[in-house]
Structure formats: C-alpha cells, structure tokens
C-alpha cells in the first residue's frame, strides 16, 4: 500500500498518478487534499505517519515544487524523502538511500514524467551493502 498526499497545488497530478498506477496494480491510500487549500507540512506529516506506523510501505507527496514537502517530510524520524524530477536520481535514491518517500512538484514536471518516476520509485529495490552503513549513519544523526 502506498500513501499519497498533496496540497492544493498538486491535486491534478496526484489524480493522474493514482489513476495511471492503479491500472498497473499499485494500491493507494489517498490522504487528501481533494481540492481544499491546505498547508503542505500538515499533509507531509499525515502521509509520513502512514509509513512510520507501518500501515504503508512508501509514500508520495506532491506540492507546487516538491521542495516544501521534502523539507517537511525529512523532519520526521524514520523518513528519508527525496525530491524526484529525473529518472536517474529517482532510481538511485532507492538503490542507495533507501528513500521511503518521493516528493514531486506539480508546477515543475508534467503528468507523464511524474507517473514514470513514481513507477521507478515503487519498483526499485534498495541495494544494501555499503549503502546500508550510510543509511545507518543517517539514522544515527536522527537519534542524536
Ligand atoms: C503552495 O502555493 C506552494 O507554496 C506549495 O505547493 C509548495 O510549492 C511549497 O513548497
């Protein structure tokens, strides 16, 4: 199950992602907003809570630029959020950073690219090995 959420800037892009990826068999828990204006930090917290509680495996957050969502999500313990706008970074943030949340900007990328990136994010595994040590170091910073 994938948690997904957006602020008012990301509603249309979120709908495209849910529609396109549902057709490919992915299941979403849509945390809103459905259109009402909302503050992106509140939405980031809501979606990330689904992940830290174990209810969802990964999350997708969309705002105008994706930046506000990624700043907010990365404040939450256990969350490694990556702002994704190209396929290389999206693939490697899964392979090397074991990112559990992807953030995208509805005002910076179109629906075709966003759906492609979401699919890469959701289907690429973590490489582990030396990258596990580095992820553990991030967790150690978090626990200081
Ligand atoms: C909302 O207008 C906008 O500030 C927000 O969607 C986002 O881009 C913030 O980073």
pLDDT of residue 67: 98
Q: Which of 8, 29, 96, 131 is catalytic?
A: 96
Q: Does the predicted TM-score (pTM) go above 0.75?
A: yes
Could you state, in order of their start, the residue ranges of all structural domains in the chain? 2-142
Q: Quick: pLDDT tens for 47-62.
A: 999 999 999 999 999 9
For residues 69 and 63, what is the distance between their CA atoms, to the nearest angstrom? 6
131 is catalytic: no
Q: Quick: pLDDT tens for 19-58.
A: 999 999 999 999 999 999 999 999 999 999 999 999 999 9
For residues 143 and 99, what is the distance between their CA atoms, to the nearest angstrom? 18
Q: What percentage of the chain has pLDDT greater than the value 90?
A: 100
> Which CATH number is associated with domain 2-142?
3.40.1400.10
- The pocket around ligand 1, CB under 6 angstroms, is made up of 7, 9, 40, 63-65, 67-68
Confidence of residue 64 (pLDDT cuts 50, 70, 90): very high
Cα–ligand 1 centroid distance for 130 (angstroms): 35
Q: Which of 6, 48, 56, 63 is catalytic?
A: 63
The residue whose CB lies within 8 Å of the most ligand 1 atoms, and thus the one to mutate among 64, 81, 83, is 64
Q: What is the mean pLDDT of residues 82-102?
A: 98
| Nearest one of 80, 71, 76 to 101, comparing CA atoms | 80
């Amino acid at each position: 199950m994938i948690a997904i959420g957006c602020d008012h800037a990301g509603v249309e892009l979120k709908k495209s992602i849910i529609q396109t990826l549902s057709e490919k068999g992915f299941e979403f828990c849509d945390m809103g907003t459905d259109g009402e204006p909302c503050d992106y930090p509140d939405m980031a917290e809501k979606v990330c809570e689904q992940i830290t509680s174990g209810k969802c495996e990964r999350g997708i957050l969309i705002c105008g630029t994706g930046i506000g969502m990624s700043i907010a999500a990365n404040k939450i313990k256990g969350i490694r959020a990556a702002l994704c706008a190209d396929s290389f970074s999206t693939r490697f943030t899964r392979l090397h950073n074991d990112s559990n949340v992807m953030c995208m900007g509805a005002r910076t990328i179109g629906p075709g690219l966003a759906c492609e990136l979401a699919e890469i994010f959701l289907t690429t595994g973590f490489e582990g090995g030396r990258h596990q040590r580095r992820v553990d170091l991030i967790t150690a910073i978090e626990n200081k």
